[in-house]
Amino acid sequence: MADYPLVSDTGNLASGESSGDLFYLFGTALRVGTAIGTININANENDITAASTSGVAMMAKSAGLLDATIDFSGIWPKAATTLGISSLVTFNSSVVKHVTGFTIDINFPEIPTTASTGSTGTWRRWMSGGTGQWSGTITAMADSAAAPVIPASGAASAAIFQMADNGGSDPTLTGSINIVRQSQVIRVGDRSVITYGFNGSGNLTQTGASPLPGLTAASGAIARPTWDLAGTGVANNEMVLTVATGRTYTAECFWTRLSLSWVMDAPVQVTGTLRVASDVSVA
């Protein structure tokens, strides 16, 4: 059989499970785009250079354990195409006027769990854990009717990010935010643009509305990423990255980053990172 370079016409990234946050994210929420994903495999390396009476010219090294991540991109939602033109931001009970785009970045820590077992191993082990955080930006054109409000100290204020218009039953992300950065560009003969940077305080809650789903579940606060579906302390949230027909990477994973971007008159873009929790099987 002749060999030849692969073309990823049949490439895909999909959950190998029937439940869990990755099953929902890739099976219901996201449409995987043409820039499907990139798997990054890294090896630890140890310096084992020994002293020599004849002199040492070059370092000697040994290969250590491997670990991997998968960076992916997609479009929300999977079943339909919505544009940023129907999104909306409400902050402190007031609609932010003339919004041209906003972003939300969600991050959770990863905890190394590699331990000695009395046998040789090849891959590092990881689990999800710790406390997540979320932040983002809001970009809007300055309004002629009122001066911009300077960020204030004190308690965070409620914000509603309408993901798209759905005839009154709108999918949203809601939570409290602190405005921590504000900049305004003034240029002769051009519109004046204000950019707000914010940090979330407390939960970020998703509410889906058929046919426009939430991100990791139909509704509820975005929770710590799932790595152990069975509750047995073993990573078993499987993902399959297909390179081409018959050529795959299969691994137990959990997500560590989701970045969402709404831009006027463009689909909602989602990028993210999966942490491989144990070993990778290649076919």
For residue range 90-144, list pLDDT tens digits in order: 998 888 999 999 999 999 999 999 988 777 779 999 999 999 999 999 999 999 8
Domain count, the chain: 1
For residue range 43-90, list pLDDT tens digits in order: 989 999 999 888 889 999 998 999 999 999 999 999 888 887 889 999
Give the whole-angstrom CA distance, residue 283 versus residue 279.
Answer: 13
pLDDT of residue 267: 92
| Beta strand residue intervals within 208-245, DSSP E | 219-221, 238-244
pLDDT of residue 168: 79
The proportion of the chain whose per-residue pLDDT surpasses 70, expressed as a percent, equals: 100
- Tell how many helices (H) and how many strands (E) occur in the chain: 1, 16
**CATH number for the domain harbouring residue 199:** 2.30.300
Let me know if residue 89 belongs to a domain. Answer: yes
Conformational region of residue 21, where left means phi above 0, alpha means psi within -120 to 50, and beta covers everything else? alpha
Let me know if residue 240 belongs to a domain. Answer: no
Closest CA to 68 of 86, 46, 41, 88: 41
Closest CA to 102 of 198, 223, 187: 198
Let me know if residue 220 belongs to a domain. Answer: yes
Which value, to the nearest 10 degrees, does the dihedral of the CA atoms of residues 112, 113, 119, 121 take? Answer: -30
User: Mean pLDDT, to the nearest integer, of 154-173?
Assistant: 91
Residue in the block written with tokens 């869990």? 20
Q: What angle do CA 107, 109, 114 make, to 5 degrees?
A: 150
Kindly tell me if the per-residue pLDDT of 170 is higher than 70.
Answer: yes
For residue range 263-283, list pLDDT tens digits in order: 988 999 999 999 999 999 999
Look up the domain containing 145 and give its range: 12-16+24-41+64-71+82-230+256-282
pLDDT of residue 153: 85
Distance of CA 225 to the CA centre of its chain: 11
The model's confidence at residue 1, banded by pLDDT at 50, 70 and 90, is: low
Let me know if residue 244 belongs to a domain. Answer: no
Distance of CA 136 to the CA centre of its chain: 13
Kindly tell me if the per-residue pLDDT of 185 is higher than 90.
Answer: yes
For residue range 26-45, list pLDDT tens digits in order: 999 999 989 999 999 999 89
User: Mean pLDDT, to the nearest integer, of 246-250?
Assistant: 96
Q: What is the mean pLDDT of the chain?
A: 93
Give the whole-angstrom CA distance, residue 250 versus residue 282.
Answer: 7
Token pair for 106: 């969600």
User: Mean pLDDT, to the nearest integer, of 155-159?
Assistant: 93
The model's confidence at residue 152, banded by pLDDT at 50, 70 and 90, is: confident
Let me know if residue 210 belongs to a domain. Answer: yes
Let me know if residue 276 belongs to a domain. Answer: yes
Residue in the block written with tokens 């370092």? 59
pTM for this structure? 0.92
